[in-house]
Amino acid sequence: MRLILLGAPGAGKGTQAVILAEKLKIPHISTGDIFRANIKEGTELGKKAKEFIDRGALVPDDITVGIVKDRLSKPDCKNGFLLDGFPRTIPQAEYLDDVLCKMNMSVDYAINIDVPDDVIIKRLSGRRVCPACGITYHIVNNPPQQGDVCDGCVTGVVQRDDDKEETIQKRLIAYHEQTEPLIDYYKNKGKLIVVDGTKEIEEITSEILKAIGVV
């Protein structure tokens, strides 16, 4: 199964991606995670991406498509993959179609996790992540069991720099201008699935699995 998760920043793409990738036994590919790993390691790609991420802008397409192409050519993507946070612009979606076409593949479904802006703002401002293992929490909706340390590795959870108030607003504007048009792009191809992202995490997972014909 070749799947794409669409949705505003904070819609719950990463949360669902981790669960779905495990259930469907396909790799979870998050461009945001790849950028953050590069920033942490101080690579050239990381330095370039950081400039854009810090100000709530999208990283330019020419940088982003290259890393996705490399990742999709790895052997673990042969039997499917789950893209989380890519594509985020129409040119990225066209590029993806092209790359997959050359590999005799195509996207099966694009799943839009629909969440209104007021809920998004609460989700992003309450999001906390484990800097060691990357698990995502929410201070109200999904807190770590012991308050502020990761359930898995007991590291203190932190707020992402781009989850600060000023940057959240900019990311939402970028979403509406550049990413939202992808909903129609996949609708026109007959590949769009829409789920109500304001429901409980488990309920959203089962709706997605039902919609893609699993279980």
CB contact at 8 A, 34 and 64: no
Is 78 an annotated catalytic residue? no
**142 part of the interface to ligand ADP, by CB under 6 A:** yes
Instruction: Name the minimum Å distance from CB 61 to ligand ADP.
Output: 7
Using CA atoms, how far apart are residues 184 and 173, in angstroms rounded to an integer? Answer: 18
- Pick the piece of the chain touching ligand ADP (CB under 6 A) from 30-38, 71-79, 96-104, 207-215: 30-38
Residues 164-203 that bind ligand ADP (CB under 6 A): 171, 200-201
Q: Is 36 a catalytic residue?
A: no
Among 101, 153, 173, 211, binds Zn ion (CB under 5 A): 153
**Torsion sign across C-alpha atoms 99, 105, 106, 109:** negative
How far apart, in whole angstroms, are the C-alpha atoms of residue 11 and residue 27?
20
DSSP state of 76: G
When binding is defined by CB under 5 A, the residue of 43, 47, 74, 132 that contacts Zn ion is: 132
Nearest-approach distance from CB 37 to Zn ion, in angstroms: 15
Q: Which two tokens stand for residue 199?
A: 């429901």
Q: Does 206 bind ligand ADP (CB under 6 A)?
A: no
- Half-sphere exposure for 162 (CA within 13 Å, toward CB): 18
Of 104 and 182, the one with the shorter C-beta distance to ligand ADP is 182
Using DSSP's 3-state secondary structure scheme, residue 124 falls into helix
Cα separation, 198 vs 106, in Å, equals 29
Binding residue for Zn ion, selected from 93, 120, 150, 168, defined by CB under 5 A: 150
Considering only the stretches 4-12, 73-81, 103-111, 147-155, report the one whose residues sit in contact with ligand ADP under the rule CB under 6 A: 4-12
Q: Report the length, in residues, of the chain.
A: 215
Amino acid letter, 99: V
* Beta-sheet strand order (sheet of 28-30): 28-30, 81-84, 2-6, 109-114, 192-196
Should residue 38 be labelled a site residue for ligand ADP when binding is judged by CB under 6 A? no
Active-site residue, 88 included: yes
Asked about 55 being catalytic, the answer comes back as no
- Asked if 130 is part of the footprint of Zn ion (rule: CB under 5 A), the reply reads yes
Quote the CA–CA distance of 22 and 31 in Å, as a whole number.
18
Residues tagged active-site: 13, 88, 127, 160, 171
Q: Which residues bind ligand ADP (CB under 6 A)?
A: 7, 9-15, 30-32, 35, 52-53, 58-59, 64, 85-88, 92, 123, 126-127, 136-138, 141-142, 162, 171, 200-201, 204
